[in-house]
Chain A
Amino acid sequence: MAFESDNKPRPVSAKVVISGGFGVGKTTFVSAVSEIAPLRTEAKMTSAAAGVDDNQLVQTKTSTTVAMDFGKITVDEGLVLYVFGTPGQDRFGFMWNDITAGALGALVLVDTRRLDECFNAIDFFESRDVPFIIGLNQFDGAPQHDPEDIREALDLDPSVPIIRTDARTSDLALDTLVQLLSHILESLSAAASKEAAPVHHVPDDREAPVVTDGMRTAAMSALAAERTG
């Protein structure tokens, strides 16, 4: 069998990342925006386990399977957007690198009842200069918080948009994707104009954002202690 098509489509592909804690609605969101039923791909991670090398009693290697769900949007015949959800059970794992390398930006989904679940994702994207927005996912019965209170609790830079979303509703989820792309566009435009016209830094009137990692770090230490304890 040979393919002899003269006008085979040759689309260019791009990707965005949907992140956040376990059970926050990442797969639901992917499903809401995707034109195909979400697909799942798996990777096996082998890590050395503690213990003696006794082939009868102890397995010296453990294999963990990490799964991620993703969807697809064909924007036009020459452009496809992939939407990748980060694996919930793989907090800083190798798959994060695969998923975020070359990504245009990320949506961090937040359940306001479990704010601490998103710290890892925020730290990850901040440290890699990946543009991201926060999506407060609506859960029935969850309290409605003022986004600015959330910003304070998460130590977020004023430039990071915080919006309400509902991963169960395609329209709202697509609108959230539009807001993410708008934020990415703004970030890129700002970076480009900075490059095009290098000027001395003029401090503006706004108070400089005070970003301290103290709170998140403390919360993460607590989480880590919980996991190991």
Chain B
Amino acid sequence: MSHVDTEAGGSFVRSYLLTGGRTRSDAGDIAIEAMVAATDGSEMPRDIDLAKIYQLCAEPNSIAEISAKCSLPLGVARVLVADLWGAGTLEILETTRSDDIAIVRRLLDGIRKR
């Protein structure tokens, strides 16, 4: 299991996942398609909006989905997710690079089968 990002030394991995390798770390850098998941062992936040996001993230959901399903403007959803990520409650999963040939092949194979 790779739960490095829940360990104390995981901040590098977290930053990488958050920013896709870029160094800025404000909420605006979280891609709208980036999936977010509740961190293992984390507790539900008390705040009602945050709790809603947290419950939704029992399954990975993208920032855009969180915004739509919680009826929050995109920018707000981003900031709240960034806060929860900062607190270690949520983790942000990896997004693909736009030049990842292997991923495009996988998408092509997968969608051709439909």
Point out residues on A near B: beta carbons under 8 Å.
1-6, 8-15, 39-44, 70, 72-73, 75-76, 79-82, 84, 95, 98-99, 101-104, 130, 174, 177-178, 181-182, 184-185, 188-189, 191-192
Please list 24 pairs of residues, one from A and one from B, whose beta carbons are closer than 8 Å in the complex, sorted by A's number.
A1-B43, A1-B55, A2-B43, A2-B44, A3-B40, A3-B42, A4-B41, A12-B93, A13-B93, A13-B94, A14-B100, A14-B107, A40-B68, A41-B67, A75-B106, A79-B107, A80-B35, A81-B107, A84-B33, A99-B32, A102-B20, A102-B96, A104-B104, A178-B108
Q: Is there contact, CB below 8 Å, between B67 and A13?
A: no
- Bound together, the chains give a CA A84 to CA B112 distance in angstroms of 20
By size class, the interface of chain B is 35 or more
Nearest CB in chain B: distance from A222 CB, A? 32
Bound CA–CA A44/B75 (angstroms): 8
Complex partner residue of B40 from A8, A81, A99, A181, CB under 8 angstroms: A8
List residues of chain B with CB under 8 Å of any chain A CB.
1, 20, 31-35, 37-44, 55, 58-60, 62, 64-65, 67-69, 73-75, 77, 93-101, 103-108, 110-112, 114
Cβ contact within 8 Å between A2 and B42: yes
Which of A43, A82, A182 meets B75, CB within 8 Å? A43
Distance between B94 CB and nearest chain A CB, rounded to angstroms: 5
Expressed in whole angstroms, the Cα–Cα distance for A4 and B42 within the complex equals 9
Q: Is the interface of A mostly helix, strand, loop or mixed?
A: mixed
The answer to whether residues A82 and B33 also contact, given A41-B67, A181-B111 and a CB cut-off of 8 A, is yes
Q: Find out whether the CB atom of A13 lies under 8 angstroms from the CB atom of B35.
A: yes
- Give the complex CA separation of A214 and B108 in angstroms: 36
What is the distance, in angstroms, from A116's C-beta to the closest C-beta of chain B? Answer: 28
